[in-house]
Structure 1
Amino acid sequence: MTGGTVIDHEEAGAVRPLTLAWVSRQLDVGERVVGTEALHGGITAEMRQLTIGTRDGGTRRLVLRSFVDPYFVEHAEDLLNREADSLALLTGTDVTVPGLVAVDATAEQCEYPSLLMSHLPGRTVLDDKELEARVPLLARQLVTIHAVRPADRPQVYKAWTTADAVVPPLGAEQVAWAAAADVIRKPAPRYEGRFLHRDFQPGNVLFDVSPSSTAGPRITGVVDWVQTSWGPPDLDVAHCSSNLALLHGPAWGLRFAEAYEEAGGVLAATANERLYWRLLDALAFAADAEWVARPWRRAGRAELTTRAVEERLDAYVAALLDAPG
């Protein structure tokens, strides 16, 4: 939830020459890139799936992330190194992540800062089908992430908005938004820190939803670790809740916190503390409705216009203020 322009993946084109040469140097002897495909749904980077021809005539797949927007290029060294560290940390744990292949965080060899990783099976699921089954899976996955105890903590979380920066969407209930801004104007509650994904939401979770599966959906991996932070579990819960509220309606935003606790997660002790974290995240979407809505539409949710997302955000903020502790 930081500024920047939305990448036009439709015009992203093939992998650029210097980057392609860099990728080729990371491959095993006798391997080569034989195909590229743009991956859609991401917001901040160009994402491409690379098909690698192997020595025995088979293929394998890798994923390339490249920051091309000037804002993210400026911050790429921190973001990509943070992701590289997270992938290395989580490999072999109960959290399934891509394997790190290589990183060029300062574009010393590539046209743009880039990270190369292994490909995970599964796909993101953003529609309403089987949502009731997926929400508990998301909650259990987040509890597992928060159980990670790194030897070296990542940076402390950064808030993505402030009370004075909040601008209510057009037509929003002004009294409610003023009250919400006043909540986050107060000092942040004290918390017991945990390892956070910091952008945990349906767009960064891969599912196996094959029709042949009789067991229902299952998570195959979690991606996009560039925002990894140290902070309150409530903040990760709040971010996923906000996304669910905008994708599927305010009731699902409220439901996710319940699911997290049902999965064994521990949230802040008081209702006021929990409200602070949820509003701190939700209010940040006011400036970024189109930024998040555009990739959702590209992924098939054509009804999620900017206006529709803003209306859901307004309803969700009101629901948070009205919800019992």
Structure 2
Amino acid sequence: MNHDETADRSATVRPSTSAWVRRFLDADAGERIVRVEALHGGVTAEMRKLTVAARGGGARELVLRSYVDPFFVDRAEEALDREAGALAVLAGATDVAAPGLIAADPTAAHCEYPSLLMTHLPGRALLGDEGLGERVRLLARQLAAIHAVCPDEQPPKYEALTTADTVVVPEGADSTAWAAAIDLIREPTPPYEGRFLHRDFHLGNVLFDTPPTRITGVVDWAGASWGPTDLDVAHSCTNLALLHGPEWGQRFADAYEEAGGVLARDAGERLYWRVRDALAFSEEVQVVARPWREAGRTELTTGVVEGRLDAYVTGLMSSASSI
């Protein structure tokens, strides 16, 4: 940072990255970075909110995403290309509030680490139980709107994120139900009609106004993909089941259809996607639960989340008997 910049104690912008960001500021208006704040709650990338002030008193806020962890740096180019492509598509979407793309450096040609610069959206993520029913309704409407986006070029195909051989069965889980679930995802992938997917749509990536009457933004488009709507819905269902209790998984799926979203006609195909997504969480329970606790849900220990995942998977497999 230069001498004009200030930062909170937990945030910095590295020299080369700062110089890169300044290339996209309005020099004629005297724009400069005056504050840097760390944004918490993410898992894969370092997030910084930049306050940019102009000569005469005007100001705006930007967000800088940088992949700094070696594990994610190796995957950053694809992720940032996906996000940049998704934000470009969504620039013309009126029903989806997404950040505006300013610039991307996916190979770290200019920055210390692969980075993306975008506009900052108002609102905040809400992870508490209060008012959840209304937020689920808003979430479902927003996801249906995302799936209605028709890009000129299809984004890359979705990634399943788990296999039958990588599932981690929680200690004390219902072994019979989990064995049946693992066998289910060994079956061939059901046919589907591809749609534009967010691929990580959940309460942590959705911003609400205060009080929460509308969604002000959807963030983290690094997994934007082309694939079955059932997979995006399944991911939201699992997140809600782990955050708020297993019953919320089905409630979200119902709300999505009520909002006009279209799922697979066959109940067995719906179950396949729900189970596949839930089993993917078994491999990263600790990683998923940590930002929830940091956001104030301190009761969501790894053990509690594993218990909810077991209950959710068991419930899904119990429903399979009626199909």
Fold shared per TM-score above 0.5:
yes
1:170, distance to aligned residue in structure 2 (A): 1.1
Instruction: Please give the residue correspondences for 1:158-307 in structure 2 after superposition, counting only pairs within 5 Å.
Output: 158-210=159-211, 216-307=212-303
Distance 1:129 1:178 in 2: 35
1:11, distance to aligned residue in structure 2 (A): 8.6
Conservation of the 8 A alpha-carbon contact between 1:198 and 1:229: yes
Moved more, 110-119 or 55-64: 55-64
Q: Secondary structure at the match of 2:180?
A: helix
Aligned length: 311
Conservation of the 8 A alpha-carbon contact between 1:91 and 1:99: yes
Distance 1:165 1:14 in 2: 37
Structure 1 counterpart of 2:20, which letter?
W
Q: Secondary structure at the match of 1:156?
A: coil
Conservation of the 8 A alpha-carbon contact between 2:45 and 2:67: yes
Instruction: Please give the residue correspondences for 1:17-56 in structure 2 after superposition, counting only pairs within 5 Å.
Output: 17-29=15-27, 30-56=30-56
**Unpaired segments ≥5 residues, structure 1:** 1-9, 211-215
Could you list the per-position Cα deviations for residues 126-177 of structure 1 after superposition, in whole angstroms to 9, with x for gaps in the alignment?
1111101000110010000000111100111111101121120111111110
Structure 1 counterpart of 2:233, which letter?
V
Structure 2 counterpart of 1:79, which letter?
A
The residue that corresponds to 2:4 in the other structure is none
1:266, distance to aligned residue in structure 2 (A): 1.0
Distance 1:175 1:56 in 2: 68
1:283, distance to aligned residue in structure 2 (A): 0.3
Instruction: Please give the residue correspondences for 1:30-179 in structure 2 after superposition, counting only pairs within 5 Å.
Output: 30-93=30-93, 94-179=95-180
Distance 1:322 1:16 in 2: 52
**Unpaired segments ≥5 residues, structure 2:** 1-7
Distance 2:39 2:67 in 1: 14
1:303, distance to aligned residue in structure 2 (A): 0.4
Q: Secondary structure at the match of 1:287?
A: coil
Q: Secondary structure at the match of 2:165?
A: helix
Could you list the per-position Cα deviations for residues 182-233 of structure 1 after superposition, in whole angstroms to 9, with x for gaps in the alignment?
11110010001100001111111110023xxxxx521001110010111000
The residue that corresponds to 1:5 in the other structure is none
1:58, distance to aligned residue in structure 2 (A): 2.4
1:263, distance to aligned residue in structure 2 (A): 0.6
CA-atom RMSD in angstroms: 1.3
1:34, distance to aligned residue in structure 2 (A): 0.4
Distance 1:217 1:316 in 2: 29
Distance 1:102 1:167 in 2: 39
Conservation of the 8 A alpha-carbon contact between 2:11 and 2:48: no
Conservation of the 8 A alpha-carbon contact between 2:146 and 2:196: yes
Conservation of the 8 A alpha-carbon contact between 1:293 and 1:305: yes
Structure 1 counterpart of 2:114, which letter?
P
The residue that corresponds to 1:322 in the other structure is 318
% same residue: 65
Distance 1:280 1:207 in 2: 29
1:71, distance to aligned residue in structure 2 (A): 1.9
The residue that corresponds to 1:6 in the other structure is none
The residue that corresponds to 1:4 in the other structure is none
1:18, distance to aligned residue in structure 2 (A): 1.1
Structure 2 counterpart of 1:21, which letter?
A
Q: Secondary structure at the match of 2:185?
A: helix
Distance 1:292 1:196 in 2: 20
Compute the TM-score of the two structures, normalised by the length of structure 1. Answer: 0.93
Distance 1:230 1:12 in 2: 37
Structure 1 counterpart of 2:266, which letter?
T
Compute the TM-score of the two structures, normalised by the length of structure 2. Answer: 0.94
Which consecutive segments of 4 or more residues in structure 1 shift more than 3 A? 10-13
Q: Secondary structure at the match of 1:235?
A: helix
Distance 2:271 2:9 in 1: 41
Could you list the per-position Cα deviations for residues 67-124 of structure 1 after superposition, in whole angstroms to 9, with x for gaps in the alignment?
0111211111111011111111101312111111111111111110000000100011
